[in-house]
Structure 1
Amino acid sequence: MPDPLHSDPLNDELLELALEAARRAGTLLRDGRPADLGVASTKTSPIDVVTEMDLASEKLITGFLAEHRPDDGFLGEEGASVPGSSGVRWVIDPVDGTVNYLYGLPSWSVSIAAERDGETVVGVVAAPMRGETYQAVVGGGAFNNGERVHHRPAPPLSQALVATGFGYVAERRAGQAEVLRTLIPQVRDIRRGGSAAIDLCDVACGRVDAYYERGLNPWDLAAGVLIAREAGALTGGRPGQPASHELTVAAAPALFEQLQPLLDDLGAWHD
């Protein structure tokens, strides 16, 4: 675990709160999923759904955090938006991988990040169906169930196992398919898991060599990007830019330096 001699008391507090909030939400989602789970609403398209459990999870998380830190801000996928006055903002995805959750597939997670003055300092991703919780504090390394993790040594691009994801709007999906058509002969293979937060943690744990996706929102990437970076991976967007809605890339440094410019040339950052 991180060296207590070099820890920051506020970051430690934020981490403990994030871990407990994610644990509670994960338990609710795992144990409380109704057999006839229905869709509460749709977002960008009929494929991009919100279930009743997304809403219940976000309410649980924001309620727990506000009880302990009432002056903090919130940014949540399902509508939580509070500016706060403490300089701390929580960025929350109450179910990352909602379609997986809806269908009873195991690759879904709860993602909670804490920002201080705009910098992500704490990230927690709980994947209850894996029995795993990933965590990182800025400068303190990345951990899975308390064990330190590190990215895989960078392979040649031709031997890289690359995770990705697709948007919900048909036009974006068509563009992403075209990028993939050109990319797939140049790598070992592609994986599409359905939870961006888990994909980023899989880079951190060495389960895939790289991950990229267009269209992520702050709640999709905030915790996972910190965890991947603290595991030694490089993260970013287009060359010279941070990970963003436009493009998110994470990989071991030597592989990142090959993959990022290739994705830029292929137009993975635009529809």
Structure 2
Amino acid sequence: MWWKTSRSRIDLSRHGLIMGILNVTPDSFSDGGEHAGISAALSHARQMIAEGAGIIDVGGESTRPGAAEVGIAEEIARTTPVIAALRAEWDGCISIDTSKAAVAEAALVAGADVVNDVSGLQADPEMLALCAARGCGVVIMHMQGDPRTMQIAPHYSDVVAEVRAFFEERLATLSAAGLNPETICFDPGIGFGKSLEHNLSLLRKLSCLGVGGRPLLLGVSRKSFIGKVLGSPELADRAWPTVAITAWTREAGAMIHRVHEVKPNAEALRMAEAILHGV
């Protein structure tokens, strides 16, 4: 299994990757404001890289339920200087977490390799052509609704079948429109227009979601469904369950894990892979 990005082809046949979350926003649900500014952002990125992150995912707009939309100029101002500074000192993979083509283009020019789009390349009509022309990696996420409305009343007849059908449609449509299929990675969008039971069903049947030999990315870190299972509102209580999910889902086929706490998740990933494949 290969995943092509702007500058490389990543071999995911045996070893998965940890994607470290770098939110440069004032209002993200769990770390808003902690890494705003180039100095704080670079410091955190360096820490995550040292702890085992293979990808740094830079986001300038919160996608938490009910979050307000950020203007293009503001999102570019938050993210592009951080990406350029990180690229100047690190040769690893950088992704931009955005649904706006103008933001993605600025990030790619600054040195990003991947566009991580929660809308699945549907929110901005210019995003597909941009990604196809740049040959960047693309994360296609499933979301019912949008960040402002998605958790009001999510409903599915069969959430696993419907998410898989979405992946199949996106792969066929985007490939026909000129996007290299090897650049595509799929994300089931845990917590994005899903109830607790929807999320658990997707995790339980993750192995059913593989489409076209493309890798799966999973983002569960610090999400509210974990707190609901535990009966705890504390963010700190969600850290170790995230590690458990990383180990479980690696065995089920998720190859990229988007997390806040890199070190324990990287260790869980390597341990799971040692059991699966040997050291």
Q: TM-score, normalised by structure 2?
A: 0.29
More strand by percentage: 1
TM-score, normalized by length of structure 1?
Answer: 0.29
